[in-house]
Amino acid sequence: MSDSEFRELEAVITVERVTELTEDDLSALCEAADAAIIEGGGFGWVHPPGRQAMERYFRGLMLVPERELYGARMDGLLVGSAQLVRPPRNNEAQAFAAQVMHGFVAPYARGHGVARLLMQRVEEGARALGYHVLNLDVRATQAVAIALYESMGYTRWGEHPLYARVNGQTVPGYFYYKVLQTGGRIA
């Protein structure tokens, strides 16, 4: 197979800020989330909560002003997402920092660079809003996610020994930050 033929087989990966969800997008996102949860790389859920609960979750998310949903597409289909969370207005002391939460990529879309591009777009969004620090946390059992964050320049600053309970076991978690730009949003 020639290089040009191989390139034709490569998946087209895009990431965008999602401002509305069509029914098809909602269905694809719920499917991707369920698959990620089942595979152990969900975003807080240990077991899929059911389609109605998942749909309510994503519909409700679209209404929260401090949260921006970034959706990762592979060949046009939503296969993962992450949330950029801005601090509440009453938190002036930490107004310069945002947080990445609830990131996931469906198992069938892994290995194509989806997670890296998703994180890059979230970082770009945070920079564009003027934030100069991005925080995140992750279960210590998520080795692939940890390797990604560390390869992208995130600094581990702490560990919580009782971070989460998964299938009856308590697991530790790690806390990370990344300086996106100097100066940045102060108020």
Which CATH number characterizes residue 145's domain? 3.40.630.30
What is the tally of structural domains in the chain? 1
Does 65 reside within a domain?
A: yes
Please list the rounded mean pLDDT of every run of 10 residues in the chain (187 residues): 55 96 97 94 85 96 96 97 94 92 95 97 96 95 95 98 93 96 60
Domain span including residue 46: 3-179
Distance separating alpha carbons of residues 150 and 111, to the nearest angstrom = 17
Does 185 reside within a domain?
A: no
Does 155 reside within a domain?
A: yes
pLDDT for res 185:
52
Does 113 reside within a domain?
A: yes
pLDDT for res 187:
40
Question: Which residue shows structure tokens 């777009």?
Answer: 121
pLDDT for res 43:
76
How buried is residue 31: exposed, middle or buried, by Cβ count under 10 Å (0-12/13-18/19+)? middle
Does 186 reside within a domain?
A: no
Distance separating alpha carbons of residues 161 and 32, to the nearest angstrom = 29
Contact by Cβ (8 Å): 159, 121: no
Does 67 reside within a domain?
A: yes
Does 134 reside within a domain?
A: yes
Distance separating alpha carbons of residues 87 and 118, to the nearest angstrom = 21
Tell me the three state secondary structure of residue 91.
Answer: coil
Does 175 reside within a domain?
A: yes
Distance separating alpha carbons of residues 178 and 37, to the nearest angstrom = 26
pLDDT for res 77:
96
Tell me the three state secondary structure of residue 173.
Answer: strand
Tell me the three state secondary structure of residue 131.
Answer: coil
pTM of the predicted model, to two decimals? 0.91
